[in-house]
């Protein structure tokens, strides 16, 4: 389920809990909402609200750190591709064929990591096989002087690092956020907002405030889910730098 649908579902459930709380306010006996009962309700709501705030903060911090790490890996991937291309260019005429193969591999890397719709599907096994051929051809180069020997050694290191980063990004789960966490968080929010609506007589001002608070809570859930899916959605990490990393030969 997409982040938008989850956030809209959470928003709808919270609004439903507000309506249920307002209904219970009119039907429950007054003694249930005053005195000691009111104090217990306030304490229980404060406890759940504190737990919800902690879980929200932890989820946001975790997904934000994961998003930034993934973005950094994509940047390192781009840097490795550019460096490998320059090493092959400095190597001489023998590196031209490998530079052409590298450009084809960049397209395959974009397809396998971003899993773009409407494009020919290329599996990770096919992409890895192509890269293995490039790495093998790179190792089969016969350096003629110490400069080419050093360039070949460095190119091998960079190509291995590039392949490792690609495998790490490809293995990134499409939904890295645990669904039970989100479910429990929405459940707590429903309880909190339902209790708020039950604590006072419904009026236009109170309902407006609760509406915007519910919208804010659903927006927070949406941002958390978006950060957990770095290769799709509104906050998708752009594939443009990788696509445009290498100029045409």
pLDDT of residue 173: 66
Asked if residue 160 lies in contact with residue 131, where contact means CB atoms within 8 angstroms, the answer is no
Share of the chain above pLDDT 70, in %: 90
Q: What is the mean pLDDT of the chain?
A: 85
| For residues 65-93, average pLDDT | 91
pTM: 0.79
SS3 label, residue 212: helix
The more confidently predicted of residues 128 and 65 is 65
Instruction: Please return the burial class of 167, using the count of CB atoms within 10 Å of its CB with bins 0-12, 13-18 and 19+.
Output: middle
pLDDT of residue 119: 46
| For residues 147-158, average pLDDT | 90
| For residues 206-220, average pLDDT | 93
User: With bands split at pLDDT 50, 70 and 90, how would you rate the model's confidence at 201?
Assistant: confident
For the segment 84-113, what is each residue's pLDDT rounded down to a tens digit?
999 999 988 888 888 888 888 888 888 888
Residue 77 pLDDT > 70: yes
- The sign of the torsion formed by the CA atoms of 95, 101, 107, 111 equals negative
DSSP label at residue 80: H
Residue 123 pLDDT > 80: no
pLDDT of residue 50: 94
Tokens coding 219? 């927006």
pLDDT of residue 174: 61
pLDDT of residue 118: 46
């Amino acid at each position: 389920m997409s982040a938008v649908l989850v956030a809209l579902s959470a928003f709808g459930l919270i609004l439903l809990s507000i309506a249920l709380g307002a209904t219970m306010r009119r039907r429950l006996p007054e003694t249930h909402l005053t005195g000691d009962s009111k104090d217990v309700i306030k304490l229980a709501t404060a406890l759940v609200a504190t737990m919800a705030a902690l879980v929200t903060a932890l989820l946001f911090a975790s997904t934000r750190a994961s998003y930034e790490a993934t973005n950094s890996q994509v940047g390192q991937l781009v840097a490795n591709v550019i460096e490998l291309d320059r090493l092959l260019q400095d190597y001489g005429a023998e590196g031209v064929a490998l530079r052409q193969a590298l450009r084809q591999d960049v397209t395959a890397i974009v397809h396998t990591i971003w899993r773009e719709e409407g494009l020919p599907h290329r599996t990770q096994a096919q992409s890895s096989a192509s890269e293995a051929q490039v790495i093998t051809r790179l190792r089969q180069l016969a350096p003629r002087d110490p400069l080419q020997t050093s360039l070949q050694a460095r190119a091998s290191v960079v190509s291995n690092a590039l392949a490792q980063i690609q495998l790490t990004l490809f293995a990134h789960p499409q939904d890295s956020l645990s669904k039970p966490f989100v479910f429990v968080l929405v459940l707590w929010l429903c309880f909190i907002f339902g209790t708020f609506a039950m604590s006072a007589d419904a009026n236009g001002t109170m309902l407006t405030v609760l509406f915007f608070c519910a919208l804010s809570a659903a927006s927070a859930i949406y941002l958390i889910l978006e950060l957990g899916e770095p290769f799709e959605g509104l906050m998708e990490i752009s594939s443009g730098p990788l696509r445009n990393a290498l100029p045409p030969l």
